[in-house]
Structure 1
Amino acid sequence: MPTTKKSAAAQAVAEFSDFNLKMTRGLKMLQRLKDEDVQIATADKEVVFRQDKVTLYRYTATAKPSLKTPVLIAYGQIGRYTMTDLQEDRSMLRNLLALGVDVYAVDWGNPTRSDRWLQFEDYVDGYLNECVEFICREHRMNAINLLGICEGGVFSLCYAALYPDRIKNLILTITPVDFHQDQAEGRTNHGLLNLWTRGLGAEDIDRLIEANGNLPGELMSYVFAQMTPGATLSKYNVGLLDTFDDEKKLLNFLRMEKWIADRPHHPGEAAKQLLVNLYKNNELIRGEFQLAGRTVDLADIKVPVLNVFAKDDHIIPPKTTQALRAAVGTKDYTEIGLDGGHVGVFVSGKLQGILGKGIHDWLRKRD
């Protein structure tokens, strides 16, 4: 017994010593690293078009072209398109470039209170359409490939339904379509954003926008954090501590935190449409969503559609996305379900060889 007690005590002292050494190394790494060491979205690109606060980028080719038709990436307003190029070895965008895809991406900029009155139609009929028209002129073609992500996928659905002649192929990733299918799988930890939004009264949303002018990015960061409180509480102690043995892991952690912190405000009137017309009233799947007096009918989408969803997405549950199959008017409809969560489909090391290649191969068959 004395020997056992001594061994246990010695092991505890050794573990405590190792912990202190790990903490010391980690703190030294944190003190040494500067903001410029934590860069995201570093793929070479050039500005090719600007309108108001919106910027269109074209990325520098890194491989021989394999597709004739370029791809335009449209992210949503609640996050930033930089997620598609988080770091060199975890970048859907770089993977597409390496496969010979000509890639453009639209950056919606940083909306302020002066943008309070911008609506979905301003982004779909205005900014997104101007970007598509620019690319069509640049390449002397009538239609392009459009790749929408999250709310950007909703923009893309609206655009493809209203401007069918301008889209050759439509790719959607983690895109909500039926906003009331969040509980269809009975997973109580999924779809909390949908439940929270449906619990808000229209007057609550009006007061929120009236007070702030926009839907604050900080508020949405808080909402997303509260959807997984355990993970939120543990990532700055257990999660961060796990990176202290490896500077590369620490940089990966900090890049993700930098992206999360860079959450833009959402223009007020467009936010009302998102929260009331889509999340609360579910008008998109019901064929009632209108932009500038025109009804967005998903059955008008006759081009090939690739719909990518995350099997463990607690923000956009799979059933909310898969509802698109029965709504679109095309017979050329493909789904890809990927293991992982909402953001993991873009940054997971295991999926880096799957998402980009899956999109490329699907497009190549239709080019």
Structure 2
Amino acid sequence: MTEPRETAFNSFLKDFAENVGKFHKGMEVLAGIRDENVDVGATPKTLVMRRDKVELFRYEPTAKRAVETPVLIVYGLMGRYTMADLQPDRSLVRSLLAKGIDLWLIDWGKPGRAERWLTMDDYVDDYIHEAVHRICRETGHDKVTLLGICQGGVFTTCYAALHPEKVKNLVLTITPIDFHADIDDPAAIQGLLNIWMRSLAPEDIDRMVDALGVIPGEFMSSIFSLMRPMDSLTKYNVDLFRIVDDKDRLMTFLRMEKWLADRPDHPGAAGRQWLKELYQENRLVEDRFELSGRIVHLRAIDMPVLNIFALNDHIIPPACSKALGGKIGSTDYKEVPLPYGHVGLFVSSNSQDKLIKIIPEWLRARDS
């Protein structure tokens, strides 16, 4: 039965008044927030080494040491490590520290045109290699555990293959290995980025890098936004409105937006390798990817490997991560698929308990 017109109008007026009140309360909350209040990557850490714009940090311990082997977090160049340390209750970093892990971090800084000639060779065989040696000198260990995230996982995979004598364990999260594994995947939405990357004309990639020296962070931000256009269109006028009067939820929203907006430029030479040799030519999984004059053979990875990926990842399709299992030389290999998205794996309140249980337990079992 249709609601009488007068009653429906009164209901509309009531809802409108409530929404106006919510909006005004939200504006009062927003008015009291400053940029310094939206703190990301705030877990205390000490600078240990700086080379060029790259910095090595050691996090301050918060619990009794439970895993002796130091763990080095390596994030990618297309974003900032702060995703893994968004806020106290959504922080992989804080959770690992609470489990007694000696945690280190490489911060790539913000490359610009001056870094246009830096290649993946430099990042893997120079910056990561020097960081590993420094950690070993500081701690007295002869090996470290590498924890790679996304593109950083590709860096750590390459390092583990080229320098297996320095790597105790390899932990990978949302890491692409076979960049063409999604081609026959019926869930095409999970491979839109791969499809777009493969469709780029190699000469267009060269033109952009030659002209700008970098792959601009703003450019990649727009690409990621276009992958989920409805989410991008509605988050400010629908999602934000729903939470604007709840300060805790609003701060989580703002921290996510701050991380999304803080996307550095990608060094040009490394970008060419990333787009052309990996996304387009798929050299890594085919044992054709070369760094510093040496082929990266995945079969050389003989240490324990933990491979965690997200089943709902729209940036790195699960098939691209799973491909690692049949390529490495190690017999101690574990895959952990989790029902989250690319970012949700790290910032979802539901994923924290699972992720922080899996990694420390796996490391403790191999910490002889």
Q: Same fold (TM over 0.5)?
A: yes
Cα displacement (A) at 1:37: 1.1
Q: Which residue of 2 aligns with 1:69?
A: 69
Alignment partners' CA distance in 1, 2:2 and 2:95 = 60
- 1:47-75 deviations in whole A, cap 9, x for unaligned? 01111100011001111100110100000
- Match of 2:257, as an amino acid? E
Distance 2:212 2:138 in 1: 39
Q: Which amino acid aligns with 1:253?
A: F
Whole-angstrom distance in 1 between the partners of 2:181 and 2:198: 12
Which letter maps to 1:195? I
Partner of 2:334: 334
Cα deviation per residue 1:219-263 (whole Å; 9 max; x = unaligned)? Answer: 000000000001000111111111123111110000000000000
Identity %, equivalent residues: 50
Provide the C-alpha distance between the structure 2 equivalents of 1:205 and 1:68, rounded to a whole number of angstroms: 44
Cα contact 2:120–2:270 (8 A) shared by 1: yes
Question: How many Å apart are 1:32 and its aligned residue?
Answer: 1.7
Aligned to 1:282: 282
Q: Tell me which residue corresponds to 2:157.
A: 157
Q: Unaligned regions of 5+ residues in structure 2, if any?
A: none
Answer yes or no: is the 8 Å Cα contact 1:75–1:81 preserved in 2.
yes
Q: When the two structures are superposed, what TM-score results if normalisation uses the length of structure 2? A: 0.98
Deviation for aligned residue 1:3: 8.0
Q: With the length of structure 1 as denominator, give the TM-score of the two structures.
A: 0.98
3-state secondary structure, aligned to 1:283: coil
Q: CA contact under 8 A between 2:308 and 2:337: conserved in structure 1? A: yes
- Aligned equivalents of 1:184, 1:302: Cα separation in 2: 29
| Partner AA of 2:322 in structure 1 | Q
Query: What residue in structure 2 maps to residue 128 of structure 1?
Result: 128
TM-superposed deviation, 1:2: 11
Q: Given the alignment of the two structures, is residue 33 of structure 1 paired with residue 58 of structure 2, yes or no?
A: no
Query: What is the distance in 1 between the residues matched to 2:184 and 2:218?
Result: 29
Q: Which amino acid aligns with 1:231?
A: D
Verify the 8 A CA contact 1:215 1:266 in the aligned structure 2.
Answer: yes
Q: Tell me, in whole angstroms, the C-alpha distance in 2 between the residues paired with 1:14 and 1:283.
A: 61
Residue 182 of structure 1 and its aligned partner are, at CA, apart by 2.1
Give SS of 2:188's match.
coil
Q: Counterpart amino acid of 1:108?
A: W
Retained in 1: the 8 A contact 2:307–2:334? yes
Deviation at 1:207, TM superposition (A): 0.4
Cα deviation for residue 211 of structure 1 reads: 1.4
Deviations 1:195-231 (Å, cap 9, x if unpaired)? 1111111100000101111010000000000000010
Counterparts of 1:185 and 1:17, CA distance in 2: 49
The 5-angstrom pairing of residues 228-239 of structure 1 reads 228-239=228-239
Identify the residue that residue 252 of structure 2 maps to in structure 1.
252
Matched, 1:148 2:144: no
CA contact (8 A) 2:182 2:188 kept: no
1:19 corresponds in structure 2 to 19
Q: How does 1:36-115 map to 2 (within 5 A)?
A: 36-115=36-115
